[in-house]
Structure 1
């Protein structure tokens, strides 16, 4: 026990390395657990169906779905970790050696933060960009306090004037959206647009040393508990099989439209997972036509736009080409393509 505790109540490097090794061991298991749970959820908790899905579903497709799910969550994790760790470093430097949060923030390279900011700028919705700017000015101010001990006027400029100016510019840009959100009764949208620019100057300096650990560790612990559940819920609903509609029936008989998720096609049969979790095998000789059904557009939560930019749209969704919605294929509605 004496080897694990150092003078002053800190944790010895050997014990910290052991904790880090445990963390690095558990982290790779989280994506694997998500992939297994996705198949379990897709099979409606039926083991034979899950084994069939394991045989035919491409791991690359599931990894792609997981990557898309985590695309916007990873920058949030990195930036919030850097802000909370930076606040602890400047508020209670004597506790930095005993805090994994502070050590991680201290050792985080600047290029990782830069990439996280760029990725968030492209993938986050417009209503979350004021929060991104708040995190960015906070990181800039905390980094200046940690690394540079220059003239007082320069530190005041970096930690106070710059956040105030950035917040003012953001408020000028999103001002019409705030007015529209208040007029439409969308309180949450108005708060997301208007509150973060006001908090930026408050997150660039230290907090009282006695409250530093409470103000940083508890939010980090809460986010660490909530994030896996939130990511899991989103990933469990992400599509991993193409939604299809298949016309089937004997050459001289009636036509039936089968709606479901296409699992596989071999020399004799087409395997389809129905909406209720049942698996059906369609004889290829009876299959008359197939089509892919587009993913239904989720309903909009907000009708507010900021200078022509909808608050739920990201820069990546605005720049990247999208498929325009056309006439709905009747087969996707359960009707034959050519009714007899």
Structure 2
């Protein structure tokens, strides 16, 4: 790969090391803070209940829930950093060496961008894929501007031909979805489908030098400030315990169904967390049956379909097998399985 040098000097080594040290300190701590906040939220701010959850909940289970819930944010951060940093590099090379955003984009390996693109293609909703195409053509354009300045025909193809052709193909594919979104009044979905293919050709080259930091650096700072809050709100609603229904009662006597989230089962009792935050310790000799209850299916964010594919679904949801059980266990509705 051709070495790229920027004017204006690089970030001073001592300052750069200090920034990286802070970054490396915050990044591992952020998932830990999210996990603790999730337990605090689940216990409804009751410290003894939270300590009980810490004792029984598997860290691997919580990390799995965190990974599944927030997997789409990883490629988003990588691609946005590379695109904004690349635009800053080609627009204001005199100041790019003093920007951590530009240095990060400059040192980001191409294989990382490739893996992030593949992950986004599988995990992002269909209505976000036009934005993915916009980021890809922007990264290709600014990378071509940095590496192939002398090849005029190649520059013209990368910065103009590929973005226009890609935008046209994307618009042709999503046009039925745009029409359907406008008919149903879903303006946000229509904008997500129609605007990115038009903006792609505008982000493949330099912007005016006086506005370079304004359109690259400050949006990245704003996203870095808002992203932790948004990620935290999303993860606080993610399930970390299985919803269960337990039939309780003496042998041959009346049965009662306890609904809640199953915490643990040991030799003496079954521990269940109810929706109001109360913890029940049910003796095992009174437990007659248990079952897992499926989470209620939430309505989709949009009813728009693009050529038969729901705009709110991802490619991974189409490919991966899905467990669908149309029958409802009466215990999940609060009724005994075999009422007498």
* 8 Å contact from structure 1 (residues 75, 116) kept in 2: yes
Counterpart of 2:296 in structure 1 is 296
1:217 counterpart SS class: helix
Report the alpha carbon displacement of residue 11 of structure 1 after superposing the two structures with TM: 4.3
Q: Please give the per-residue CA displacement for 1:161-207, whole angstroms capped at 9, x wherever unaligned.
A: 11000000000111111111111111111111111000000000101
Which stretch of the first structure deviates more once superposed, 327-336 or 10-19?
10-19
Tell me the distance in 2 between the aligned counterparts of 1:328 and 1:213. Answer: 56
Counterpart of 2:338 in structure 1 is 338
> In the alignment, is residue 186 of structure 1 matched against residue 186 of structure 2?
yes
Tell me the distance in 2 between the aligned counterparts of 1:263 and 1:243. Answer: 10
Q: Please give the per-residue CA displacement for 1:191-244, whole angstroms capped at 9, x wherever unaligned.
A: 111110000000001011111011111100110011101111111111111100
* 8 Å contact from structure 1 (residues 65, 238) kept in 2: yes
Q: With the length of structure 2 as denominator, give the TM-score of the two structures.
A: 0.96
Counterpart of 1:117 in structure 2 is 117
* 8 Å contact from structure 1 (residues 249, 256) kept in 2: yes
Tell me the distance in 2 between the aligned counterparts of 1:66 and 1:283. Answer: 32
1:28 counterpart SS class: helix
Report the alpha carbon displacement of residue 9 of structure 1 after superposing the two structures with TM: 8.8
* 8 Å contact from structure 1 (residues 69, 231) kept in 2: no
Report the alpha carbon displacement of residue 308 of structure 1 after superposing the two structures with TM: 0.6
Report the alpha carbon displacement of residue 300 of structure 1 after superposing the two structures with TM: 1.4
Tell me the distance in 1 between the aligned counterparts of 2:294 and 2:54. Answer: 24
Where do residues 1-340 of structure 1 align in structure 2 (5 Å cutoff)?
Answer: 11-340=11-340
Tell me the distance in 1 between the aligned counterparts of 2:9 and 2:194. Answer: 43
Q: Please give the per-residue CA displacement for 1:117-143, whole angstroms capped at 9, x wherever unaligned.
A: 000000001000000001001100110
Tell me the distance in 2 between the aligned counterparts of 1:274 and 1:301. Answer: 28
2:95 counterpart SS class: helix
Report the alpha carbon displacement of residue 319 of structure 1 after superposing the two structures with TM: 0.7
* 8 Å contact from structure 1 (residues 130, 192) kept in 2: yes
Report the alpha carbon displacement of residue 297 of structure 1 after superposing the two structures with TM: 1.1
* 8 Å contact from structure 2 (residues 145, 155) kept in 1: yes
Tell me the distance in 2 between the aligned counterparts of 1:176 and 1:140. Answer: 28
* 8 Å contact from structure 2 (residues 177, 304) kept in 1: yes
* 8 Å contact from structure 2 (residues 11, 100) kept in 1: no
Report the alpha carbon displacement of residue 20 of structure 1 after superposing the two structures with TM: 1.1
Tell me the distance in 1 between the aligned counterparts of 2:169 and 2:22. Answer: 44
Tell me the distance in 1 between the aligned counterparts of 2:11 and 2:186. Answer: 48
Report the alpha carbon displacement of residue 69 of structure 1 after superposing the two structures with TM: 1.9
Tell me the distance in 2 between the aligned counterparts of 1:167 and 1:325. Answer: 40
Runs of 5+ consecutive residues of structure 1 not aligned to the other structure: 1-7
Report the alpha carbon displacement of residue 325 of structure 1 after superposing the two structures with TM: 2.9
Tell me the distance in 1 between the aligned counterparts of 2:235 and 2:225. Answer: 16
Greater than 4 Å deviation, 4+ residue runs: 8-11
Q: Please give the per-residue CA displacement for 1:277-310, whole angstroms capped at 9, x wherever unaligned.
A: 1100001111000000011111112111111101
Tell me the distance in 2 between the aligned counterparts of 1:114 and 1:11. Answer: 27
Tell me the distance in 1 between the aligned counterparts of 2:39 and 2:271. Answer: 16
Report the alpha carbon displacement of residue 151 of structure 1 after superposing the two structures with TM: 2.8
Runs of 5+ consecutive residues of structure 2 not aligned to the other structure: 1-7
Q: Please provide the CA RMSD for this pair.
A: 1.3
Report the alpha carbon displacement of residue 70 of structure 1 after superposing the two structures with TM: 2.1
